[in-house]
Amino acid sequence: MPHTWDPERYLAYADERGRPFVDLLGRVGADRPSRVVDLGCGPGNLTALLAQRWPEAEVVGVDSSEEMVRAAREAQRDLRFEVADLRTWRPPEGGVDVLLSNATLQWVPGHLELLPTLADAVRAGGWLAFQVPGNFGEPSHTLRSALAAEPPYAAHVQGIADPASHDPAVYLEALAGLGWEVDAWETTYLHVLAGEDPVFAWVSGTGARPTLQALPDDLRPEFEAEFKRRLREAYPDRDGRVVLPFRRIFVVARRP
Tens of pLDDT, residues 212-252:
999 999 999 999 999 999 999 999 999 999 999 999 999 99
Q: How far does Cα 186 stand from its chain's mean position?
A: 15
Q: Which residues contact 24 (CB under 8 A, 6 or more apart)?
A: 100, 102, 129, 130, 131, 250, 252
CATH of 7-254, one of 3.40.50.150, 3.10.20.520, 3.40.50.300, 3.60.20.10: 3.40.50.150
The answer to whether the peptide bond before residue 152 is cis (omega within 30 degrees of 0) is: yes
How many other CB atoms sit within 10 Å of the CB of residue 195?
11
The whole-angstrom separation of Cα 171 and Cα 252 is 10
State pTM to two decimals. 0.92
pLDDT tens-digit profile of 168-207?
A: 999 999 999 999 999 999 999 999 999 999 999 999 988 8
pLDDT band (50, 70, 90) for residue 17? confident
Domains of the chain by residue range: 7-254
Answer yes or no: are the C-beta atoms of 160 and 2 closer than 8 Å. Answer: no
